[in-house]
A and B are shown apart, each in its own frame.
Chain A
């Protein structure tokens, strides 16, 4: 079935190159995960060996779970990410609907204004954001993080969703109008269900930078009660830097949720990128 150009040798070389890079991409992660299950001596004696019954040890996990407050950090990260995504999707879809469905004065300007934030990072306004949060009494609350991340995610969400909403058929919406649906029910009951795939793409794109962010948790919510898992592991590892078991276990615990989510959603994510959502 091969095309005339694809000789077995060439195919072999392609697989060799891709396989080599796959190894480079996965090996460091693999190394950390296997060593987190070994005792201290064998981490150093045989770093590449898989844990065997003789070298198996959970002492690192023990330290992490007793010393660090990782359950709380996970909970904080989860709340911040979930609530931010919810608002990004809701507000973003509403604004995208207004921009794609109605003609009004300043429509294009509004679209450009909202698109500014795709290229200009919100981080540059940190000095004044912190000032504003202090004034509003929101420092060291999850609300501060949710507000910042919602603002950060909106520009790209509006941009992608506007493109998608233009593809929803006008006939359907007009049929709804003739049946006496209000503009709000047209949006919530007709349009939203149709753009669900695009919403999933936006959700994944929004989620990754929020979950992984270190800057804003460090600046706006560094207290013990509001640490996210990224900041929590940063601080924890900084304190336990010589306790290799604990460091490796903390890293593995931080990788795990990302890994599981990625294995579930990788199809969705890769299809989202390659279907031209970011053209």
Chain B
């Protein structure tokens, strides 16, 4: 391995020509990571170019992608899942991040009492597993139990209740909001941390200039926490485009009703393993995984090269 070759500028004292200890330190992580993560990923990308014909694995080029995007058996469910996935992401961006920013802004009010208690409590749902979160909300929203109509009745809104999870028109929004409820702790914490890092002198200077309250938030704090919001957006993007667990728990592998909550993760699961009458299809599974990989990769690249570089960073 060329990585262990001696370089002329040596930080350590030893001047032996081969420094085996570097290899020893690196190797375990490198082997596990490469063998279990990188190679399977490459192999999955490769498999997406092959398909089984007459029991033989044949190279089909982009044929699988053509089938996925164009063949009537696949295209409808693929485009449906992709569209739902974008809605899923959009709801997170529009609901989770603004509420997260607002909560962080409130938490960073100076000399706030019970701050630690609020933080601890609001972060709790993030730690629960999807299974717990999914079933809790399934029970609460269930018309059989009647907790939500009862609660809505207390605030005079009983008339708006309907079995939201069971209706194709509202199921996706409901599932997205459950996911928002679970994950709001992450944007809240990261932005809270970014706000703590704003030096007091900057805020004091603003106050001397008469910039306080709302205008202080919009003009001073918000520009300073934009990098944190950027990181949260890309984390949300990656998380949403490989989401699976919550939908599987709440709506089952068929992502009902009528496929209205189907996203790429559930589609991948059904395609690869099969479900009920559908037989598992390895090549098409790999194809969907490749599409998810390309979507996530382009999101990450867009963030790294377009957004992060243009973002102004302030040095104090």
Please list the residues of chain A having a beta carbon within 8 angstroms of any beta carbon in chain B.
1-3, 5-6, 11, 14-15, 17-19, 21-22, 24-26, 28-29, 31-32, 43-44, 47-48, 87, 90-92, 94-95, 97-99, 101-107, 110, 114, 116-117, 119-129, 131-132, 147-148, 150-152, 154-155, 158, 170, 174, 177, 182-184, 187, 208, 211-215, 219, 230, 233-234, 237, 244, 247-248, 251, 254-255, 258-259, 262, 266, 269-270, 273-276, 278
Residues of A within 8 A of B293 (CB): 120, 124
**With contact pairs A1-B111, A18-B106, A125-B41 given, residues A147 and B296 touching in the complex (Cβ less than 8 Å):** no
Interface residues, chain B, with chain A CB atoms under 8 Å away: 2-5, 7, 9-14, 19, 21-22, 24-26, 28-30, 32-33, 35-41, 43-44, 47, 99, 102-103, 106-107, 109-114, 116-132, 135-137, 139-140, 145-147, 150, 181, 184, 189-190, 192-193, 196-197, 207, 212-213, 231, 234, 238, 242, 244-245, 248-249, 265, 268, 272-273, 282, 285-286, 289-290, 292-293, 296-297, 300
Least Cβ–Cβ distance between B225 and chain A, in angstroms? 12
Q: Do residues A6 and B3 form an inter-chain contact, with CB atoms below 8 A?
A: no
With A101-B12, A114-B33, A127-B272: A29-B125 Cβ-Cβ less than 8 Å = yes
Q: A2 CA to B112 CA in the complex, in Å?
A: 10
Shortest distance from the beta carbon of B46 to any chain A beta carbon, whole Å: 8
Chain B residues near A154 (CB, 8 Å)?
A: 29, 32-33
| Chain B positions within 8 Å of A31 at CB level | 136, 140, 147
* Chain B residues, Cβ within 8 Å of A18: 103, 106-107, 114, 118
Residues of B within 8 Å of A251, CB to CB, are 132, 135-136
Contact B111 A2 (CB under 8 A): yes
Residues of A within 8 A of B111 (CB): 1-3, 6
List residues of chain A with CB within 8 A of the CB of B43.
125, 127-128, 131-132
- Asked if A98 meets B136 with Cβ closer than 8 Å, knowing A22-B121, A104-B4, A127-B282, the reply is no
Residue in B22, B28, B124 whose beta carbon sits within 8 Å of that of A91 in the complex:
B28
Give chain B residues whose Cβ lies under 8 Å from the Cβ of A275: 193
User: Which residue of B3, B145, B265 contacts A47 across the interface (Cβ within 8 Å)?
Assistant: B145
Query: With A44-B145, A117-B33 in contact, do A124 and B2 touch (Cβ < 8 Å)?
Result: no
Given contacts A102-B22, A114-B29, A154-B32, contact A121 B118 (CB under 8 A): no
Question: In the complex, what distance in Å separates the CA atom of A40 from the CA atom of B102?
Answer: 40
A21 touches B21 (CB 8 A): no
Q: List B contacts of A233 (CB < 8 A).
A: 131-132
- Cα of A131 to Cα of B37 in the assembled complex, Å: 13
Contact present for B242 and A123 (CB under 8 Å) = yes
Known A-B contacts A131-B43, A274-B193; the reply to A121 vs B136 at CB < 8 A is no
**A102 x B103 contact (CB < 8 A):** no
CB contacts (< 8 Å) of A174 on chain B: these are 13
Interface contact A147-B118, CB-CB below 8 Å: no
Which one of A6, A131, A254 lies within 8 Å of B132 (CB-CB)?
Answer: A254
Contact indicator B147/A214 (Cβ below 8 Å):
no
Residues of B within 8 A of A5 (CB): 207, 212-213
Report B269 CB to chain A, min CB distance, Å: 8
In the bound complex, CA of A91 to CA of B25 (Å) = 8
CB of A5 to closest CB in B, whole Å:
5
Across the interface, do A124 and B13 meet the contact criterion of CB distance under 8 Å? no
* Bound CA span A114–B44, Å: 19
> Max chain B CB contacts within 10 Å: which of A2, A125, A152?
A125
In the complex, the chain A residue whose C-beta lies closest to that of B102 is: A17
User: 3 tightest A-B contacts by CB?
Assistant: A125-B40, A212-B129, A128-B43
**Known contacts being A122-B37, A247-B139, is A274 close to B189, with CB within 8 Å?**
yes
Q: Report B-chain residues with C-beta under 8 Å of the C-beta of A99.
A: 26
Query: In the complex, which of the residues A102, A120, A219 contacts B11, with contact meaning CB atoms closer than 8 Å?
Result: A102
With contact pairs A91-B32, A104-B19 given, residues A120 and B296 touching in the complex (Cβ less than 8 Å): yes
Bound: A268/B99 CA distance, A: 24
Minimum Cβ distance to chain B for residue A29 (Å): 7
Tell whether, in the assembled complex, residue A48 and residue B147 are in contact, meaning their CB atoms are under 8 Å apart: yes
Cβ of A29 and Cβ of B124 under 8 Å apart?
yes
**Closest chain A residue, CB of each to CB of B293:** A124
Contacts of A43 in B (CB 8 A): 145
Q: Nearest-CB distance from A12 to chain B (Å)?
A: 11
Q: How far is the CA of A18 from the CA of B129 in the complex (A)?
A: 24
Task: Select which of B25, B102, B289 is within 8 A of A187 by beta carbon.
Answer: B25
Given the interface pairs A25-B121, A123-B242, A148-B36, the reply to whether A14 lies near B29 with Cβ below 8 Å is no
Query: 13 interchain pairs (CB within 8 A)?
Result: A18-B103, A19-B118, A28-B137, A44-B146, A114-B33, A117-B33, A122-B36, A124-B292, A128-B41, A129-B36, A132-B36, A212-B130, A274-B189
Partner of A266, one of B123, B146, B249, B296: B123
Q: Which residue of B lies closest to A270 (CB)?
A: B119
- Which residues of chain A come closer than 8 Å to B109, judged between CB atoms? 6, 11, 14
CB-based contact A97/B190 at 8 Å: no
Closest chain A residue to B112, Cβ basis = A14
Nearest CB of chain A from residue B236's CB, rounded to whole Å: 13
A2 to chain B, nearest CB (A): 7
Extra 9 A-B pairs, beta carbons < 8 Å, given A151-B33, A237-B131, A270-B120: A21-B122, A25-B121, A31-B140, A91-B28, A95-B28, A124-B41, A151-B37, A248-B139, A258-B129
